[in-house]
Structure 1
């Protein structure tokens, strides 16, 4: 199992988990859900007190990944399998992403 903290503008919004069977879950932190001023991180991941399940990486997070030769170069440089989307996400989405979301590996 691997986990990542999902940050919205630097604040902890929730936890993304890859399970041993390669499925994924995402859950907002309780503080995020209870604060009415905090938005959903995505239209497809509504801000509710629920654990979202998916057999594959949620499209919202998948769309943060590089493609083509950029993906190949990053994977080769960081020794990441081309099909390890979670590992790639942990590598490329730690800072300076297009949107307000960044990813922080949990140890």
Structure 2
């Protein structure tokens, strides 16, 4: 199982996992989830539900990935299969992302 830590402006917001069967799970961190002052990380991942599951990488996280030439460069440099979106997310979305959300490998 691979797992990433999801941060919102540097604050741990939750955990993103991919299990051996390919099922993706995003779970809000308990303290973040219970704090009404902390926003949901996405409209598609509301805090009204603590655990979200999907057969595919959640569209919100997929949107953090590079495309085109940048994707090609990342895949070559990091030796990542271009179709392994989860591994690419964990290895490339930890620092320089558009917006407040970053994802780092655990």
Query: Which range, TM-score by smaller chain?
Result: over 0.9
Q: TM-score under structure 1 normalisation?
A: 0.95
Q: After the TM superposition, list the runs of 4 or more consecutive aligned residues in structure 1 that deviate by more than 2 angstroms.
A: none
Task: State the 1:93 CA deviation.
Answer: 0.6
Task: State the 1:34 CA deviation.
Answer: 1.0
Task: State the 1:50 CA deviation.
Answer: 2.8
The answer to whether the aligner puts 1:64 opposite 2:64 as a matched pair is yes
Aligned to 1:101: 101
Question: Partners in 2 of 1:11 and 1:4 — Cα distance?
Answer: 14
Give per-residue Cα distances to partners, 1:48-89, cap 9 Å, x unaligned.
Answer: 343111001000000000111211111011000011101110
Give per-residue Cα distances to partners, 1:6-53, cap 9 Å, x unaligned.
Answer: 000001000000111112000101101111100000000001343111
Question: Partners in 2 of 1:65 and 1:38 — Cα distance?
Answer: 24
What are structure 2's unaligned runs of at least 5 residues? Answer: none
Q: TM-score under structure 2 normalisation?
A: 0.96
Question: Partners in 2 of 1:83 and 1:64 — Cα distance?
Answer: 15
Question: Partners in 2 of 1:9 and 1:21 — Cα distance?
Answer: 31
Aligned to 2:7: 7
Aligned to 2:85: 85
Aligned to 2:42: 42
